[in-house]
Structure formats: C-alpha cells, structure tokens
Amino acid sequence: MTSGESHGPELMAIVEGIPAGLHLQARDIDKDLARRQLGYGRGGRMRIETDRANITSGVRHGVTLGSPIGLRIVNSDWKTWRRTMGAAPVTGPEEPPVTVPRPGHADLAGLLKYGLDDIRSVLERASARETAARVAVGAIARRLLGEFGVQVFSHVVQIGNVKAGRRRTLTVHDFKKVDSSPLRTLDAAREKTMKALIGKAGREGDSLGGVFEVMAFGAAPGLGSCASGPERLGGRLAGAIMSIPAIKGVEVGGGFATAGKRGSQVHDEIFFNNEGGFFRHTNRAGGLEGGMTTGEPVVVRAAMKPIPTLTKPLKSVDISSGAAAPALKERSDVCAVPAAAVVGEAMVAIVLADAMLAKFGGDNIEDVRRSYESYQRRLKESWPRQSS
Ligand code: EPS
C-alpha cells in the first residue's frame, strides 16, 4: 500500500510479507529511485526532487525483521505547497480551486466519483508522483529476487511513432548501459530521432507516449499457476502493468502479433538434454505458458499514452460555470516513457516476488532458500521419467 499526494509532504509505503533475514539498505532502494528520475523529456519537477528512501520500520541493522516494512520519500517541492496542500483547514483567503479538467487525466472522472469541487483534490493523488513509492517497493522485491538469481531490466522500444530497430534475442549483458542512454533505449541511432520528436512536441505545447519492454531473467519454471484465473501470472503481470498511470495496453511475448500467425509460427518447440533439462530455442511465449513461468525470460511490453497535461491545452469545460474553457495548464513532462519503464520493472519485480513467496514462502529467507533449492533438485532429478 502506498499513500501520498504529489505536492504533499511525502509519499509512504507499507510492504507486508517480506521474510526475515533479507539484507536491505536504503541505498538498494535509492539506486532505483534515481533511475526513475532520469530520461529526456521530463519537466521542471525532476530538477526539484532528489528521491531518497527512508526506511522507518521492518528493518534492523540492514536486515529485514519479517514485520511490515515502512518507507517514506520526502517531496522537496512541499515547501512551496504547504498552504495549498496542508492537512489543516486554511485560515485567511480560500485557496482558488482548479475548475477545468484535462481530457485524459483523472480530473473529471475523479471529480464526479468523489463529489468534489476542486480538481486539485483529485489530481494530486492521481499524479504519477506516486510511482516513486512503487519503485521503492519494487526495489525491495528486486532485493528478494536477487537472492534467487532473478534480474529485471527494461528498455524503451518506441517513442511516439519512432520504433527502436529490432534486435537479436536480448541477454542480461545488453542492459548494462541502458541507463546511460537519455531515453533508456538500446537503439542509439533511433534515439536521436526520438529526442528530436520529443523536443518538437514540447515546443509545440504537446506531449508524447511510447512503448517500453520489461524483461525478467532467471525466474524458475512454475511460478504462478494454471489452476485458477487469479493465480495465472499473465493476468497478474498485465494487471500490475496496467495499474501504472497512463498505460493503455500490455503484451506478453509476441502479444497482439501472435493473433495473426499460425500455431506453428508462434509456439516454442520443446527440447531436452541431460545436462540442462528441458529448453527452447525461441521465446515467443514471453516466458509464460498456461499462466506459469517456463524458465525462459519473462517479456512484457506496455503502451503508454501521451501525458494529458498540454501547454497548448485541449477543449474542456469549466465546472463552476458549465462554459467551454481551455483545459488546466500546469508544469508537466513532455514524455515520461523512460521513467515509466523503470516503474514497469518495479511492478514486474513485485509480481514475481509475490509468486516466488507463494511457491517457496517462509518466515526467514533461509526457509525460502531451502524450499527453492529442493524444488530445483526435484526439477533436475525427476526427468526423463521412466514409465513403470
Ligand atoms: C505529474 C506532473 C508533474 C510530474 C509528475 C507527474 O509534476 P508537477 O505537477 O509537480 O510538475 O513531474 O511526476 C512526478 C512528480 C514524478 O515524481 O514522477 C502528473 O500530473 O501526473
């Protein structure tokens, strides 16, 4: 669970279910918080904030206790918003309300749902600022996954209508330098065109979306389950990715393109040898079959719509008069796809950590390790199976 408004004093998160005995320090989290702040196309706010995690509970001397982990991330911008966003009733002149909703933002639907008369009371929580808290939680999940050799990466594969070139199958090594690219893309040549596109959209008062891909390497086969809908990992990953603000589509592996192909072109043929067990030469399934991991990398792509705050605003209506009015204009990012990709990593890490604990869970990380290792032994020793 997270809480916090964009211009309130801080974001908070409480993480339940992490076993005792996991090494965890604020610096493990701060690394990812800093990565989320990167990316060409961000607005002025990212120059104000330097996100850092303050661990307030559940960890002692750098080791988890098995109790809920509390996290706080201070909003540096709060100092200029104390009056507008304070919890206490205002004294003196009323704060002027925001009355013109932005098409595409939570403004209007939230206003109707909560019965409010100031759009600020909706937009502050709907702001993508909240994703900083998710990245902090994701970093804890990543720490847990790291104990079992699972690594989660991301890269930007499209900005606006400019697509990164298709590459051979990616490995962990391909992601070593991705954070030093201003758009977190692996296609240095197309990056120039992408940057130019963002620059142009910004100058014209517009915004841009794009597509990012998250890859998780090293997950054991059998995470998730085919036994019931809610346990299927595809649904849980898609739900987690779709819960990131501005995400409008999710694909696993070949995704939508598989619908137009024949089965023989889509499914990953199965091979076996005594050293490595079962394996595939392809991974069109994106590491999931039947709602479970196959042991191949998990590959999830997400489509992010363009940010709804435009400096050349769209048509809207003033809720106080019902008259036509240009939508709210606020300081904003032009494009935040590189940051959203880091949030995507966090969501995938959270879902995979959850699935790991569902399968191998225990109160101490060593209980989890024993269960994981015994499963790995079973996988190794059980096949090929002789029929009796
Ligand atoms: C956002 C608007 C901008 C973004 C913000 C999301 O903030 P501000 O209104 O303060 O300029 O920078 O994202 C973040 C603060 C962040 O940490 O990612 C919005 O309206 O959703």
The pTM assigned to this predicted structure is 0.97
Q: Which helix (H) or strand (E) holds 273?
A: strand 271-273
- The confidence score (pLDDT) of residue 387 equals 62
CB-based pocket (< 6 A), ligand 1: 6, 43, 45, 77, 127-129, 131-132, 309, 330-333
Q: How confident is the model at residue 373 (pLDDT cuts 50, 70, 90)?
A: very high
Kindly state the average pLDDT of the residues 195-213.
97
pLDDT for residue 30 is more than 90: yes
- The confidence score (pLDDT) of residue 385 equals 78
Q: How confident is the model at residue 383 (pLDDT cuts 50, 70, 90)?
A: confident
Kindly state the average pLDDT of the residues 32-52.
94
Which of 20-24, 63-67, 100-104, 327-331 comes out lowest in average pLDDT? 327-331
CA of 194 to the centre of ligand 1 (A): 21
- The confidence score (pLDDT) of residue 388 equals 56
Kindly state the average pLDDT of the residues 340-365.
98
- The confidence score (pLDDT) of residue 384 equals 84
d(CA 5, CA 65): 29
d(CA 173, CA 275): 24
Q: Which atom of ligand 1 is nearest to the CA of 77?
A: 10
pLDDT for residue 386 is more than 80: no
Query: Which region, left, alpha or beta, applies to residue 205 given φ > 0 means left and ψ of -120 to 50 means alpha?
Result: left
| Residues 63/21, Cβ–Cβ less than 8 Å | yes
Residue 192, token pair as written in the block: 């120039």
Ligand 1 pocket test target in 127, 244, 247, 330 with most atoms within 8 Å of CB: 127
Domain locations in the chain as residue ranges: 2-381
Q: How confident is the model at residue 274 (pLDDT cuts 50, 70, 90)?
A: confident
Residue with tokens 């990715």: 241
Choices 3.30.310.10, 3.60.150.10, 2.170.120.30, 1.10.599.10: CATH for 2-381: 3.60.150.10
Ligand 1 pocket test target in 7, 36, 79, 333 with most atoms within 8 Å of CB: 333
From residue 133, alpha-carbon distances to 14, 73, 325 in Å are 10, 7, 34
pLDDT for residue 240 is more than 60: yes
- The confidence score (pLDDT) of residue 85 equals 97
d(CA 93, CA 268): 66
pLDDT for residue 167 is more than 80: no
- The confidence score (pLDDT) of residue 330 equals 78
pLDDT for residue 107 is more than 90: yes
| Residues 130/152, Cβ–Cβ less than 8 Å | no
- The confidence score (pLDDT) of residue 382 equals 87
Kindly state the average pLDDT of the residues 226-242.
98
| Residues 223/355, Cβ–Cβ less than 8 Å | yes
